[in-house]
Amino acid sequence: MTETIKTRMLILGSGPAGLSAAIYGARAGLKPIVVQGLQPGGQLTITTDVENYPGFRDVIQGPWLMQEMQAQAEHVGTQMIYDTIVSVDLSRRPFRLTGDGGQVYEAETLVIATGAQAKWLGVPGEQELGGKGVSACATCDGFFYRGKKVAVIGGGNTAVEEALYLTNHSDNVTLIHRRDSLRAEKILQERLFANPKITVLWNKGVERFVGGGEPHGLVGIDLKDTVTGERSHLAVDGGFVAIGHAPATELFKGHLPLDRDGYIEVKPGTPYTSIPGVFACGDVMDKVYRQAVTAAGTGCMAALDVERFLAEADFEAIAAE
């Protein structure tokens, strides 16, 4: 029988949010434990060039940044555990969590930083050209396509916002949508249609992202008309898939309130969930910004609030004696 692991601060997820929470928690003497989950390091481990994280004048690599964050967290006293949590009991403190190998964790506080994953089309060339012309984040990667021809795939708020953002870098932006009308809010649609840099292709589905061989990356997108079946090809340098994100919150259904998109609900402007002692940070609760630097910021907030929560709990325990 494996011995139960007990900790004052348990963190689920090891992306920028989780590791920032760990760094602050460790420096406060809380000896946090990070359960790294299915994708240690988070989404940045599959991101190549990072140019928008403060502190680096040159382009850095996502995996390298996460290695440095983990090393920093460990250096100040964080324990990293390679495990995946499969069940939780948040009905009372200490909270009780179980890993997929049966390991049990008891935590006085819990920080949820399990992140979110971009939804993909699942068509040929998409994954092969990831980071080589195909992206799911215009804010992250749009800068690399200055003066180039780009396309955005989708029809909701995210797709329209990405297309509008890309006009800061490109004069030739195409929005590809499989239907004949957009789901985005009307005010966003008005801005889109009024922008001369944007062209909309209606009733078009993506069949394939086409590469031009190393080192060229993406050179175009094969399309199929969803009404007539006619096939066409659009030459582009960058393709941005903007069909939404899926937060990693399946584990918490029935335990914590989730919004209609599956994100953990928190008290506005804070990482506080509805359960005292349980905090959420990063993309698992943020569907607006979804940036590494904002995730790191909310991780810091979570750790500071964990420290305050535990200090108050300790004081109350002493006063009750």
283 is catalytic: no
From 22, 71, 12, 72, select the one nearest 42 (Cα to Cα): 12
How far, in Å, CA of 148 to CA of 236, rounded?
8
From 215, 159, 213, 226, select the one nearest 188 (Cα to Cα): 159
83, 140, 237, 286: the active-site residue? 140
How far, in Å, CA of 200 to CA of 214, rounded?
30
Q: At a CB cut-off of 8 Å and minimum separation 6, what does 12 contact?
A: 18, 35, 37, 85, 97, 110, 111, 112, 113, 114
Are the C-beta atoms of 114 and 37 separated by less than 8 Å? Answer: yes
281 is catalytic: no
83, 141, 237, 283: the active-site residue? 141
300 is catalytic: no
Structure tokens at 46: 């599959």
Burial code (b: 16+ CB inside 10 Å, e: under 16) for 281-315 equals bbbbbbbeebbbebbbbbbbbbbbbbbebbeebee
Strand order in the sheet with 218-225: 204-211, 218-225, 231-235
What is residue 161's three-state secondary structure?
A: helix
- Residue by residue, DSSP assigns 19-48 as HHHHHHHHHTT---EEE--SSTTGGGGG--
Q: At a CB cut-off of 8 Å and minimum separation 6, what does 42 contact?
A: 13, 14, 15, 16, 17, 18, 66, 115
Q: At a CB cut-off of 8 Å and minimum separation 6, what does 146 contact?
A: 169, 170
What is residue 243's three-state secondary structure?
A: coil
Are the C-beta atoms of 30 and 23 separated by less than 8 Å? Answer: no
Asked if the bond preceding 16 is cis, omega within 30° of 0, the reply is no
49, 100, 137, 281: the active-site residue? 137
Positions marked active-site: 137, 140-141
